[in-house]
């Protein structure tokens, strides 16, 4: 059986006319048995449909902030760099992928996109909008975990990592606020911030707020996330 084709979203920088992606995503997909292909940001609806018809799984990567106007809020001063073309592209990808029951792994911003595309909302800035939060924008290297998350035992994620508590890295100031009705929350940090969601039924659709692509070489729990994703993508 050949390697499943995994479409990986990319960062789009309009000012520099560039597409970028950290190599760790590609390396993790290959190590877990997948064949990575990068998905450039496009606005053509037909091309987006063609992307989804050809891939076996979708990996939504991390990135900048999501435009709060997309969930009915005006921007706070803490809002960072926005990429409206990427936001609209990924929201359409997720909406169409749900129609075909495609397997999806969402990481950091990708987790937030999953939730937003299906009716959820976000905190624009945890430190302004949620009281007594932990440090979620670490100043340690990306490969170093800086806080713990607690995983619900009755979840697919728990069956993957086989641990109630795991250590994760943390590089975000936005997070899920109201959860989409299509998802259930399966992990929290000690301050109550939502750290993982998964689809209630159907295909494998998992969103994690941390960056397992930077941890998989030293953490079998995070490697297993990619391995299970690729396993579900095999036809």
Q: Which of 211, 221, 228, 233 is catalytic?
A: 211
Q: Which of 90, 213, 221, 228 is catalytic?
A: 213
Among the listed residues 193, 152, 197, the one whose alpha carbon sits nearest the alpha carbon of residue 170: 193
27 is catalytic: no
Name residue, tokens 């959820």.
Answer: 120
Radius of gyration of the chain (CA): 16
Among the listed residues 219, 183, 218, the one whose alpha carbon sits nearest the alpha carbon of residue 202: 183
Structure tokens at 104: 């999806």
Q: What are the two backbone dihedrals, phi and then psi, of residue 207, each rounded to the nearest 5 degrees?
A: -120, 130
Q: What are the two backbone dihedrals, phi and then psi, of residue 107, each rounded to the nearest 5 degrees?
A: -120, 125
Structure tokens at 207: 């969103």
CB neighbourhood size of 186 (10 A): 23
Q: Which of 108, 136, 198, 221 is catalytic?
A: 108
Contacts of 140 (CB under 8 A, 6+ apart): 146, 169
Q: Are the C-beta atoms of residues 66 and 90 closer than 8 Å to each other? A: no
213 is catalytic: yes
Question: Cα–Cα distance between 67 and 56 in angstroms, integer?
Answer: 29
Among the listed residues 196, 197, 213, the one whose alpha carbon sits nearest the alpha carbon of residue 148: 196
Q: Are the C-beta atoms of residues 48 and 88 closer than 8 Å to each other? A: no
172 is catalytic: no
Report, as residue numbers or ranges, the catalytic residues. Answer: 108, 211, 213
């Amino acid at each position: 059986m050949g390697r499943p084709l995994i479409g990986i979203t990319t960062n789009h920088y309009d000012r520099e006319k560039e597409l970028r992606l950290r190599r760790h995503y590609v390396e993790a997909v290959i190590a877990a048995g997948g064949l990575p292909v990068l998905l450039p940001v496009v606005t053509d609806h037909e091309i987006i449909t063609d992307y989804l018809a050809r891939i076996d799984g979708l990996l939504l990567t991390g990135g900048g902030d999501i435009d709060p106007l997309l969930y009915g809020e005006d921007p706070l001063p803490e809002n960072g760099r926005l990429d409206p073309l990427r936001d609209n592209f990924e929201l359409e990808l997720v909406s169409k992928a749900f129609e075909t029951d495609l397997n999806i792994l969402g990481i950091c911003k990708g987790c937030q996109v999953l939730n937003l595309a299906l009716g959820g909302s976000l905190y624009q800035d945890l430190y302004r909008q949620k009281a007594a939060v932990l440090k979620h924008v670490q100043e340690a290297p990306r490969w170093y975990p800086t806080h713990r998350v607690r995983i619900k035992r009755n979840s697919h994620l728990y069956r993957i990592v086989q641990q109630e508590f795991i250590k994760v890295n943390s590089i975000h100031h936005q997070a899920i606020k109201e959860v989409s009705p299509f998802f259930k929350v399966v992990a929290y940090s000690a301050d109550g911030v939502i750290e993982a969601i998964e689809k209630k039924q159907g295909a494998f659709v998992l969103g994690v707020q941390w960056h397992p692509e930077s941890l998989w070489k030293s953490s079998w729990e995070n490697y297993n996330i990619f391995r299970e994703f690729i396993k579900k993508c095999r036809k």
